Copies of this chain bind each other. A is one copy, B any other.
Amino acid sequence: VIAAAAAGLFHSGLLAGKRVMITAGPTREALDPVRFLSNHSSGKMGYALAEAAIAAGARTTLVSGPVTLPIPEHAQYHPVESAAEMLETCLRLVSECDIFIACAAVADYRPEQVQGDKIKKNDAEMLLKLVRNPDIVSAVAAAEPRPFTVGFAAETRDLLAYARDKMQRKGLDMIIANDVSDQGIGFNSEENEVTIVCGQTEHALPRASKTIIARQIIEAIANSSGK
């Protein structure tokens, strides 16, 4: 009933005249020309958010890591591979956006060195030195002028505690908390179940398709960012 209501209530015009930038999918961090570190993000949630933002009337920019989804119609599409490329693209476009939603599952670490040739496997063991990737959502939240900035927290435990900490630490306006330990929702599934955290309020959305969840998030953003 709630999902149906959410779908029914959704209408264009909620974000008319607004410019929204959304990141989606995983990033890939090269070890050498053939190997990479990545994660199981399918991009479905970010692409659903882009569809919902477009339906709500926003001019929508989608900065996407490698996924196998069709590009949403009317999106300004910017494909990227690594976190460094994603950061560069977001910072280049941030001054043209009012709302930023960091939905991509950016790799936290990348190999310190990218080998030009394929690494030969001569040893029984190998130590791979990883260094922290740039923090894209923090960089965008710190931009001048800054957009209304929304992050995601995908965790396997202590979900809301980690999410609140992340929101404060990174200077976000809103965070969407997502328990990825449940196999039925999250990364590769069609459904999701999230809690929208904004200021002191928490709003738990019941499990629903990513399309419905995306519309509810866009509605919450429209309500909170308009203040």
Q: Which residues of B contact A35 (CB under 8 A)?
A: 37-39, 107
Q: Which residues of B contact A92 (CB under 8 A)?
A: none
Do B33 and A156 touch (CB < 8 A)? yes
Check if A187 is an interface residue, CB within 8 A of chain B.
Answer: yes
Check if A40 is an interface residue, CB within 8 A of chain B.
Answer: yes
Q: Which residues of B contact A131 (CB under 8 A)?
A: 124-126
**Total contacting residues, chain A, CB less than 8 A:** 37
Q: Which residues of B contact A38 (CB under 8 A)?
A: 35-36, 38
Q: Which residues of B contact A124 (CB under 8 A)?
A: 131-132
The answer to whether residues A180 and B118 also contact, given A38-B35, A156-B33 and a CB cut-off of 8 A, is yes
Name A157's contact: one of B107, B117, B156 (CB within 8 Å).
Answer: B117
Do B129 and A127 touch (CB < 8 A)? yes
Check if A181 is an interface residue, CB within 8 A of chain B.
Answer: yes
Q: Report the bound CA distance from A131 to B189 in whole Å.
A: 31
Check if A174 is an interface residue, CB within 8 A of chain B.
Answer: no
Per CB-CB distance, the 4 closest pairs between chain A and chain B, nearest first, are: A108-B121, A128-B128, A126-B130, A68-B68
Given known contacts A34-B105, A124-B131, A127-B128, what 20 new A-B pairs fall within 8 Å (CB)?
A: A33-B181, A34-B40, A35-B37, A35-B38, A36-B37, A36-B38, A36-B39, A36-B40, A68-B68, A109-B126, A112-B125, A117-B181, A118-B180, A125-B129, A125-B132, A126-B130, A126-B131, A127-B129, A128-B129, A128-B130
User: Which residues of A are in contact with B by a Cβ distance under 8 Å?
Assistant: 31, 33-41, 68, 105, 107-109, 112, 117-119, 121, 123-132, 154-157, 180-181, 187
